[in-house]
Amino acid sequence: MALLFVGIDPNAGDRQSPTVWVDRERRELVLQGWKPTPEIAAECAATEVPGHAKGIPDNEAVIRIPARMVRLIREACDAVEP
């Protein structure tokens, strides 16, 4: 699997690097972001959404991405669409 690097948070410092990639083979976005605060994770896990089980499955994660990365996420969406 070869990931296509799309971009990194334009305000990333030496220690923080929210990043966007595209897995063209699987047609998926791959995002690296900040871990949520315990409060955000708990709120996400407690939220009931129609057709969705309460909680966060073991094979999923909640991440935070800064809004300034919307342009990179749009670029990744364009790259992953047929």
Q: What confidence tens digit (pLDDT) does each residue in 12-34 have?
A: 877 778 999 999 999 999 999 99
pTM of the model: 0.82
Q: Identify the pLDDT of residue 1.
A: 67
Asked whether 13 and 34 are in contact (CB, 8 A), the reply is no
Asked whether 76 and 29 are in contact (CB, 8 A), the reply is yes
Whole-angstrom Cα distance, residue 44 to residue 63?
11
